[in-house]
Structure 1
């Protein structure tokens, strides 16, 4: 009888099997094998599997081993480019070698990750380069461009991901010249796509997947139909990533970028043939008028937009501004049409002008059903229309379970049934997918109600490895003194531990307040034992993470990292580098956010509780993610402090506590200090 995929997987994970050669300190874990066998069954039978695998299960190997042993073509999608690089550069090569498989792997990212040789050439002659250091950075990029094979900017050491140069040396869908480009043959984006189409295993990210679903332009349209196994790792981010791409956006920044490119191309290729200055002035004026229509607002404000105009804005003024913007784009398109044969630049700009005009017209019409609309206010203005979730798109356009085949613009084609996709295997996995057995928090918005669900517990002994402290006598979360007290508690622990502390905040305001207060607290300490306070935003994320992990190893005091948003997940500092995690408040979704508000209203209209069915599960998942930063290995030890008395004072606190890893409870301040003291003693032992 021939060996099944499950048999092969079981052998690989057995003690003394091939995985013993692939991973240091590999030992058989029942949870890891259980997940791997479930993935193997799904690959053999087809269908959808959702797996929540607790920290330490080793879920990466659990899906990679069966996927590789199946001999099928595989697509792997991760949440971030950093995780992509780790999967492609470390995990996949190790396994391919250990399993001795003749497998071709490829890495595919979005355009903004690759150097555009044509735009690099243009940047050389750009007189308006931002900031003084840009010429030095540009020279460094030029030097690297001669040696790189992939053109992936992640390979360029020292390039700040926030550099204003990046948009000037990368292409967008709008400004790419395609086959007309003088650098088409050596183009890094096209090379990456060709390699992906020829590979057996392709590693992408969720942004790229949904960008393609929205515009069919990233090369995925050709790739996906040839793939038999699709795995989404860090799948808890799918819904929020997907809604960014499946709606529509129009920004004053987009308009100004278009105006700049229009003037540059016009003066370079067709000076005097069209009044470029006039066309550009019209676009810039219309974008400015739209911004002025909103008036003074706090930066970061999101204005609800239910009727013909956003809240507090005169409807006539708003509609007139949108119409003026549409007309300015249409006039630009007319001017470009007259010179389109002169240069491929004009063809792309013409298409871009038409697209922007169409988008302005869309925002002048009422919002789509089951969508929500708002305006983001910053230096620039961003008009956003978003679906409430990705369920419909997943069912009809990804899994192909529905009544029609979707076109690029999202419209269903009448009378044609979607092809059943039952033979393909879909695996969705993460350490956190909800706080109840059916994982409804994840499956419902992702349209995966009929999926098979598996939950695999973490192998860590949390009661022995970690303590949870919720201070009782503490200011309420909305009290003015709250952030100061959080900073004092964290500073006390960090001073004892020589840094090794991560403070996670729910708002940017708290981030700054806690960062400033901790710096003041540490000024009283001697310089050689004073922990360094790193605050998110002050340095690039990668630099912050590397500096924190170095900790006290460099012969100086360790670090405290005060961070928000993106550091609640995906930040890994195993070992002694991190021993205290402090969370300032329960991470409930902001109630005044238009998307949160619209989702809550939809649940209430269905007769459900928006708090129990949305806000509470959202907070539970985010809290679980934040807590997950503390214990990353079986040898790690630490303390988690959550400075929100609602966790013990409110009835719903029990549900949130149940979602956390089963750490031992530290009931008093004395317990907290004793646990910190034990950690300090273990460091010096």
Structure 2
């Protein structure tokens, strides 16, 4: 998984304005939850076609007990259980202050815009709710003013976009850039008109009083239910420790939905990074502020040139590499990089940051911009010095290579941070011990104790509950593992995957999702499928959508539209993020094709370090890490197929190891209990059955 931009502080998008409800007495919550989930209870008003489900009620009662007694509950709730209502109902009925964390902004919007309002209304609760986004979602009035004077703005289209933003800024109440129609989320202008924790001036900002971020945050602190995402949680964890945020200490119920992403999100945030892109952004901000507020007092051009040169020399020291490469870094320099040239470039960059800090210090009284820039320069100099020293114990270090470089030092997991900084285990804090923590997802492991999730997250002592899906998989779905197929490392493998997927899509009129384990396979399969369909009549030819050619949101919407408006249906070839979180219920999706078993890449530095740690403990890296990782990913991918009790479909996994290797049985056992298709004729018959 690639390292993402550092998460930002909390901001609220909306807060309802109702008074807080008193918490029910202990023991009453169980009865209230049972009544809500009864067949004729209030939930029948909140959800269409609601019917009482044993698993859903079981999970809700477990959450209610956790809230009453405090402690940690881990719940794996299979697809279709209705886990969202299972945690929301007891959390809302408890009368406690609640923090809900999801994996993505899309899930945040769904929870806040659809599920929460329906339940609050159905339960008749006077609750205030808030949706919190990262500061990068909000217009920064101070940086907008700076952008007006930025001579380095890109082409003319950016000037037009800036003019639109300026016009909109005079009317918006929230400052949420999502309100602005036609603004591309990938626009290079957005970083110029939004703030980061690094460049925010805080209370010294001339626009502090009308700041959208601060106004929204103050409103959020008054809400009863706050919806964030996992990145924001880890951001608040860090900020809270510096005394700046009080959100987490003020809530007693914390729920992590899609909790299977928590460990990977956490290690990204809890690590340290220094990127050549960060250096160039800093240089641009320093030049803009210097020329605006202190022209002629410091040689800004010289400081900027030294910083840019340091970033460039660091990139050049690495030399030619595959884009996206991750270079191991166990010694004084990354793998394959001359140590002397690397250390020299790192020292030069550290020196450039230190010189910038000295120059900024001389003009710090002229503008708060210089104070914050000085802090950034010192912070970057400290990081450069840290990367010149050996890696911290229980951590791993590497370099991400692209157009820019990113130096990364990461913990191997979040277990220690969760125990000491989140749960505060053994610290004797009564408030901490009384807090309820709920972690839930459809996939948290392939063993009864869910060790794949609990071990790296430091939750070995948690109560564990597994609630199985109510779907009739044997009736609704079939699994096909072709036996006469090239091996996964055979150059002909991707072409055969494309042939099988095209065969299925031709029968179904599209309605096919192909999930790949690599970007190379993604492109190969996408191109091959288009060639397969080329001879077909245009009216019947399925449209092949390939991840990366359009924004993810557009791809998902187009796929769900399927064969509407007289068009042929769609095939979506995707990787990475589409293995989970992609929901296409009904007839829009009837065939899911997975190219290979999704084992973690063995040459990834983080994977390698985790494997080495297990081996040092006398455990099996394959059995205790690689296999559970593949099982969870496989469950996630397979979970795209059946989303409702009326859905039907076929899952094809084009990896013969499932049938020929001993560990294949463990992976098959992790999948939903679909009926097996033994040969190609059975596969074809199952596809034809779906068209009837």
- Per the normalisation by structure 1, the TM-score is 0.95
Assess, with a 3 A threshold, how the Cα gap between structure 1 residues 155 and 546 changes in structure 2: closer, same or farther: farther
Q: Does the aligned pair in 2 maintain the 1:375–1:384 contact within 8 Å?
A: yes
Which of 167, 180, 185 aligns to 2:204? It is: 180
Name which of 584, 595, 602 aligns with 1:584. Answer: 595
* Corresponding residue for residue 407 of structure 1: none
1:627 aligns with 2:638: yes
Is 1:208–1:218's contact at 8 Å kept on the other side of the alignment? no
Change (3 A) 1:290 1:215: farther
- What does 1:244-255 correspond to in 2, within 5 Å? 244-255=268-279
Query: Distance in 2 between the 1:249 and 1:371 partners?
Result: 13
Distance 1:480 1:71 in 2: 59
Query: Distance between the aligned counterparts of 1:555 and 1:116, measured in 2?
Result: 45
Give 1:187 shift.
1.6
Cα displacement string for residues 94-128 of structure 1 (whole angstroms, at most 9, x for unaligned residues): 10000010000011121112222222233344343
Instruction: Give the corresponding residue for 2:19.
Output: none
Q: Work out the CA distance in 2 between the residues paired with 1:234 and 1:130.
A: 39
User: Of the candidates 214, 231, 238, which is equivalent to residue 207 of structure 1?
Assistant: 231
Match of 1:601 in 2: 612
Q: Which residue of 2 aligns with 1:550?
A: 561
For residue 641 of structure 1, what is the aligned residue in structure 2? 652
Contact 1:51–1:430 (Cα < 8 Å) also in 2: yes
- Which residue of 43, 46, 58 corresponds with 1:19? 43
1:430 and 2:441 matched = yes
1:226-375 to structure 2, matched below 5 A, reads: 226-375=250-399
- 1:313: Cα distance to partner? 1.7
CA distance in 1, matches of 2:645, 2:168: 41
Q: Deviations over 1:151-210 (max 9, x none)?
A: 223344443322222211211111112222232222221122112210000001000111
- The structural deviation recorded for 1:402 is 4.4
CA spacing shift, 1:216–1:259, aligned 2, 3 Å: farther
Structure 1 equivalent of residue 63 of structure 2: 39
CA distance in 2, matches of 1:572, 1:335: 53
Q: 1:643 to 1:162 in 2, by over 3 A?
A: same
What's the counterpart of residue 193 of structure 2? 169
User: How far apart are residue 419 of structure 1 and its match?
Assistant: 6.5
Q: Does 1:669 align with 2:672?
A: no
Equivalent position to 1:510, from 515, 521, 524: 521
- Alpha-carbon offset, residue 217 of structure 1: 8.6
Distance in 2 (CA, whole Å) between partners of 1:125 and 1:491 is 54
In structure 2, what is the Cα distance between the partners aligned to 1:2 and 1:673? 57
- Name the CA distance, whole Å, in 1 between partners of 2:502 and 2:603: 32
What residue number does 2:419 align with?
395
Hey, what does 1:465 align to over in structure 2?
Answer: 476
Which ranges of structure 2 fall in alignment gaps of 5 or more residues? 1-24
**Root mean square deviation, CA, Å:** 1.6
Alpha-carbon distance, 1:272 to partner: 0.6
> Matched residues in 2 for 1:24 and 1:148: separation?
35
Q: Of 645, 652, 673, which residue of structure 1 is paired with 2:663? A: 652
User: 1:83: Cα distance to partner?
Assistant: 0.5
Alpha-carbon distance between aligned partners in 1 of 2:263 and 2:594, rounded to the nearest angstrom: 24
1:2 Cα deviation after fit: 8.5
- Aligned pair partner of 1:105 in 121, 129, 153: 129
Query: In 2, Cα distance between the equivalents of 1:290 and 1:97?
Result: 57
Change beyond 3 A, Cα 1:147–1:461: farther
Give secondary structure in 2 for the equivalent of 1:303. Answer: strand
Per-residue deviation, residues 497-532 of structure 1 (Å, max 9, x unmatched): 111111111000001111111111111111111111
Equivalence map 1:193-204=2 (5 Å): 193-204=217-228
Against the structure 1 CA distance between its residues 175 and 336, is the aligned structure 2 distance closer, same or farther, given a 3 Å change threshold? same
Alignment match, 1:412: none
The answer on whether the counterparts of 1:107 and 1:192 sit within 8 Å (CA) in structure 2 is: no
Identify the residue that residue 413 of structure 1 maps to in structure 2: none
| Cα gap change, 1:675 to 1:295, in 2 (>3 Å) | same
Q: 1:247 and 1:474 mapped to 2: Cα distance?
A: 42
Alignment of 1:363-512 (within 5 A): 363-402=387-426, 421-512=432-523
CA deviation after TM superposition for structure 1 residue 311, in Å: 1.3
Alpha-carbon distance in 2 for matches of 1:533, 1:310: 40
Q: Distance in 1 between matches of 2:26 and 2:272?
A: 51
How far 1:219 moved relative to its partner?
9.2
Closer, same or farther in 2 for the Cα pair 1:159/1:574, shift >3 Å?
farther
Of 99, 119, 122, 2:143 maps to 119
CA distance in 1, matches of 2:623, 2:109: 37
Taking structure 2 as the reference length, the TM-score comes to 0.94
Cα separation, 1, equivalents of 2:242 and 2:576: 28
Q: Which residue of 2 aligns with 1:149?
A: 173
- Please tell me whether residue 60 in structure 1 is matched to residue 71 in structure 2: no
Q: Structure 2: how far apart are the matches of 1:464 and 1:136?
A: 56
> Does structure 1 conserve the Cα–Cα contact (< 8 Å) formed by 2:240 and 2:246?
no
- Distance in 1 between the 2:241 and 2:540 partners? 54
Mark the CA change 1:81 to 1:220 in structure 2 (over 3 Å): closer, same or farther: farther
Inter-CA distance 142–633: structure 2 relative to 1 (3 Å threshold): farther
Are the equivalent residues in 1 in contact too, given 2:27–2:68 (CA < 8 A)? no
CA drift of 1:137 comes to: 3.3
| Compared CA separation, residues 34 and 98, structure 1 to 2 (3 A) | same
Whether the 8 Å CA contact 2:478–2:675 is kept in 1: the answer is yes
Structure 2 CA distance for partners of 1:600 and 1:461, relative to 1, 3 Å: same
1:411 paired residue number: none
Judged with a 3 Å threshold, the aligned counterparts in structure 2 of structure 1 residues 630 and 220 are, in CA distance, closer, same or farther, namely farther
